[in-house]
Amino acid sequence: MVMGMAFLATVILWVRYKNNHSGYIWTLLHLMFFSVAVYFLLQAISFDYEHPMASEENSLQIGIAGVVWAVSMICFMIGIYSFQKRSANS
């Protein structure tokens, strides 16, 4: 719910201030990748522990969540840099 509101607020700000497309694109990519990371983490938490390879499955899900989270943080840093670079030129 909160991620949806953040996504919506980003789109509204992008429509209102049309001056920095790349910063908003990177921010939206961050939100999407972060949502995917949370999905994989929730899958790991709710996995059936009676499964014969539950530990391996959980480790894989948590590892995927970590990698996707790292990609989302890279997108976030690029977005912040894009906004900072734009404001320095103004």
pTM (two decimals)? 0.82
pLDDT of 90 reads 58
The pLDDT tens digits of the residues spanning 8-63 come to 998 888 888 877 788 889 999 999 999 999 999 999 888 777 778 888 888 999 99
Cα 2 from chain centre: 13
DSSP assignment letter at 18: T
First to last CA, the chain: 35
**What pLDDT digit, counting tens, does each position of 29-39 carry?**
999 999 999 99
pLDDT of residue 89: 62
> Cα dihedral sign for 17, 72, 82, 25?
negative
Residue type, 58: N
| DSSP category for residue 47 | S
Whether 65 has a pLDDT exceeding 80, the answer reads yes
Q: Helix axis angle, 2-16 relative to 21-45, nearest 10°?
A: 170
Domain boundaries, the chain: 1-88
